[in-house]
């Protein structure tokens, strides 16, 4: 008699159950899921994005989910290179921090463990205006 594996059940916060189906697929390994931004992280990024679009500085964005990192790219025009890349790399979480902001040249502008602190690189700087 062939034994089937027990279902791996996970209880979610909203009360729903999530069942892993990978054990039921014969001969297939479960591939790791791509890295994604969580809802609160994406909310913080989109809040900054909306502010910058309102100021007329940014116009478009792209969202990439890869197996090793997630990237939110910001564009002035959609056909160009991204002005900034907001990256989440979990491998760096225990070292420099999982979140970073990189400019077009590839230079890391800010890196850290807290996304909201990293996004402060986009805060407006006060300028002295003389008449």
pLDDT digit string, tens, across residues 15-70:
677 777 766 767 666 677 888 899 999 999 999 999 999 988 899 999 999 999 99
Asked if the structure places residue 47 within a domain, the reply is yes
Q: How high is the pLDDT of residue 12?
A: 58
Per the structure, the count of domains in the chain is: 1
For the chain, the first-to-last Cα distance in angstroms comes to 89
- Indicate the pLDDT class of residue 86, thresholds 50, 70 and 90: very high
User: Which of 74-78, 82-86, 92-96 reaches the highest mean pLDDT?
Assistant: 82-86
pLDDT (0 to 100) of residue 124: 73
Question: Is residue 127 assigned to a domain?
Answer: no
pLDDT at 130 over 90: no
- Asked if residue 118 is part of any domain, the answer here is yes
Between 130 and 54, the more confident residue is 54
In a domain, 117, yes or no: yes
Q: Do 110 and 101 meet the contact criterion of CB atoms below 8 Å apart?
A: yes
Domain that residue 60 falls in: 39-122
Is residue 80, in this structure, part of any structural domain at all? yes
- Does some domain include residue 23? no
Q: Mean pLDDT for the chain?
A: 83
116 located within any domain: yes
Q: How confident is the model at residue 93 (pLDDT cuts 50, 70, 90)?
A: confident
Beta strands in the chain (DSSP E): 9-11, 17-19, 60-65, 70-75, 84-88, 99-103, 108-112
Does the pLDDT value for residue 84 go beyond 80? yes
84 part of a folded domain: yes
């Amino acid at each position: 008699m062939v034994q089937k594996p027990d279902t791996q059940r996970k209880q979610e916060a909203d009360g729903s159950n999530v069942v892993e189906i990978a054990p039921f697929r014969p001969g297939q390994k479960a591939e790791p899921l791509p890295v994604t931004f969580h809802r609160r992280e994406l909310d913080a990024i989109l809040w900054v994005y909306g502010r910058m679009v309102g100021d007329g500085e940014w116009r478009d964005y792209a969202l990439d989910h890869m197996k090793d990192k997630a990237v939110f790219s910001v564009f002035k025009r959609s056909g160009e290179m991204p002005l900034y890349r907001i990256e989440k790399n979990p491998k760096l979480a225990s070292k420099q921090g999982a979140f970073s902001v990189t400019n077009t040249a590839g230079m890391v502008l800010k890196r850290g463990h807290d996304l909201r602190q990293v996004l402060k690189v986009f805060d407006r700087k006060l300028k002295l205006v003389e008449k």
